[in-house]
């Protein structure tokens, strides 16, 4: 006689709440886990993704980068950008925080980084500070917190476009990426073919194919993230193969993570105080907070491969950015959930 099936245990409510909290905080996001997995995989098999590999990683990532910016331009409506120009004070604050306050904070902190190892870490942090804001993450956070969504879309889009020019400018001034005129010409050519022309082509085709791109934005976002994972994997493979991280202990990484938390909170405080002084509405203040405090891992990965193509330290260059990316999602998720509940309570 067959035994009766064992009854299923009821779900544990406390465990469900715990998993829901992790999900809201962004800790169960597959992309964050994928970033960690890419670094671990690069540590285990560095030769597979290094320059010695027979796989044409450079050609693959170059094509992937061009597609990222093409589809970004395809979803960028000129009508929305024109409509967003009206709230100019908010836009000025967000862009000044993104491209001026961040780099200035990094420059002020430079004396704290002594020695060769400290200088390399500072360069990585400065590179992070020169990057534009995120697009999708900023808009999502502003939406959850009940902020000014059209202004968020405008600022995130403009930030990405300005970053094409301002990130190379900042890095060329302080990170010695332009050793000679030939390098400058090569960099300009790479930016043109991989970033500027795809964006322009996408914008010009927006009226015809923009609805298609918007409808499939989830799929396009996944493809973007896959390209970034490949860039991160190959960058860390090269760094591990050259032994870049041998002089860094686990405590160095922990301190770097704490520094990224401090950077995020410092910028958040500056934006909050400035928006209060300028008399921004609650919706505009939320937009300034979550658009001005973000940094784009997509642009950072692409710019690192373009600005530093011949260095094995690209993995180290991306390390602060990866930490900041994870922390900005976790911290901002917690803040937006609370702000959203407060807004719902008022309504």
Instruction: State in words which class domain 53-337 has.
Output: mainly alpha
User: What confidence score (pLDDT) does residue 186 get?
Assistant: 56
User: What confidence score (pLDDT) does residue 25 get?
Assistant: 45
Phi and psi of 55, rounded to 5°? -75, 130
Q: For residue 225, count other CB atoms closer than 10 A to its CB.
A: 18
- What is the DSSP-derived secondary structure letter of residue 52? T
Query: Are the CB atoms for 133 and 94 separated by under 8 Å?
Result: yes
- List per-block mean pLDDT (blocks of 10 residues) for the chain, which spans 347 residues: 43 51 53 79 86 82 80 75 76 94 94 83 92 77 77 81 87 67 55 75 86 81 78 78 72 86 92 92 90 85 74 72 78 74 69
User: What confidence score (pLDDT) does residue 129 get?
Assistant: 95
The pTM of the full predicted model, rounded to 2 decimals, is 0.68
Query: Are the CB atoms for 238 and 315 separated by under 8 Å?
Result: yes
**Whole-angstrom distance, CA of residue 330 vs CA of residue 23:** 10
**Whole-angstrom distance, CA of residue 63 vs CA of residue 58:** 9
Residue with tokens 């980084």, as numbered in its chain: 113
Domain boundaries, the chain: 53-337
User: What confidence score (pLDDT) does residue 178 get?
Assistant: 44
- Cα 257 to the chain's mean position, in Å? 16
Residue with tokens 């044409």, as numbered in its chain: 56
**Whole-angstrom distance, CA of residue 323 vs CA of residue 319:** 6
- What is the DSSP-derived secondary structure letter of residue 55? S
User: Given its phi and psi angles, is residue 279 left (phi above 0), alpha (psi -120 to 50 degrees) or beta?
Assistant: left
User: What confidence score (pLDDT) does residue 168 get?
Assistant: 87
Q: Which of 263, 20, 285 is nearest to 142 (CA)?
A: 285
**Whole-angstrom distance, CA of residue 276 vs CA of residue 298:** 31
**Whole-angstrom distance, CA of residue 303 vs CA of residue 196:** 13
Q: What ranges in the chain are assigned the alpha helix state H?
A: 13-25, 30-44, 46-49, 57-74, 78-84, 88-96, 102-108, 115-129, 136-144, 149-174, 181-191, 197-204, 206-215, 217-241, 250-277, 282-292, 297-307, 314-346
User: What confidence score (pLDDT) does residue 211 get?
Assistant: 84
User: What confidence score (pLDDT) does residue 296 get?
Assistant: 84
- What is the DSSP-derived secondary structure letter of residue 97? I
Number of H-type helices and E-type strands within the chain: 18, 0
Phi and psi of 6, rounded to 5°? -70, 130
């Amino acid at each position: 006689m067959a035994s009766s099936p064992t009854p299923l245990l009821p779900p544990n409510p406390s465990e469900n709440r715990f998993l829901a909290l992790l999900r809201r905080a962004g800790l169960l996001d597959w992309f964050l886990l994928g970033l960690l997995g890419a670094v671990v995989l690069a540590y285990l098999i560095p030769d597979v993704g290094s320059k010695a590999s027979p796989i044409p990683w450079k050609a693959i990532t170059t094509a992937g980068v061009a597609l990222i910016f093409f589809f970004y331009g395809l979803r960028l409506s000129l009508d929305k950008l024109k409509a967003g120009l009206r709230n100019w004070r908010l836009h000025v604050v967000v862009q000044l925080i993104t491209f001026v306050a961040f780099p200035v904070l990094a420059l002020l902190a430079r004396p704290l980084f002594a020695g060769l190892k400290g200088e390399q870490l500072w360069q990585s942090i400065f590179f992070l500070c020169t990057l534009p804001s995120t697009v999708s993450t900023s808009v999502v956070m502003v939406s959850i917190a009940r902020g000014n969504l059209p202004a968020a879309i405008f600022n995130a889009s403009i930030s990405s476009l300005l970053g094409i020019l301002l990130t190379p400018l900042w890095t060329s001034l302080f990170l010695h990426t332009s050793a000679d005129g030939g390098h400058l010409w090569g960099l300009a050519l790479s930016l043109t073919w991989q970033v500027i022309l795809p964006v322009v082509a996408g914008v010009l085709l927006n009226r015809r194919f923009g609805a298609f791109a918007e409808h499939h934005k989830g799929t396009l976002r996944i493809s973007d993230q896959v390209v970034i994972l490949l860039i991160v994997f190959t960058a860390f493979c090269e760094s591990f193969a050259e032994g870049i991280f041998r002089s860094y202990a686990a405590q160095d990484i922990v301190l770097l993570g704490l520094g990224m938390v401090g950077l995020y909170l410092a910028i958040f405080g500056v934006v909050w105080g400035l928006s209060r002084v300028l008399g921004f509405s609650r919706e505009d203040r939320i937009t300034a907070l979550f658009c001005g405090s973000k940094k784009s891992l997509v642009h950072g990965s692409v710019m690192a491969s373009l600005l530093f193509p011949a260095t094995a330290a690209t993995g180290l260059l991306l390390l602060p950015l990866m930490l900041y990316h994870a922390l900005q999602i976790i911290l901002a998720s917690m803040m937006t959930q609370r702000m959203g509940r407060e807004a719902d309570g008022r309504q």
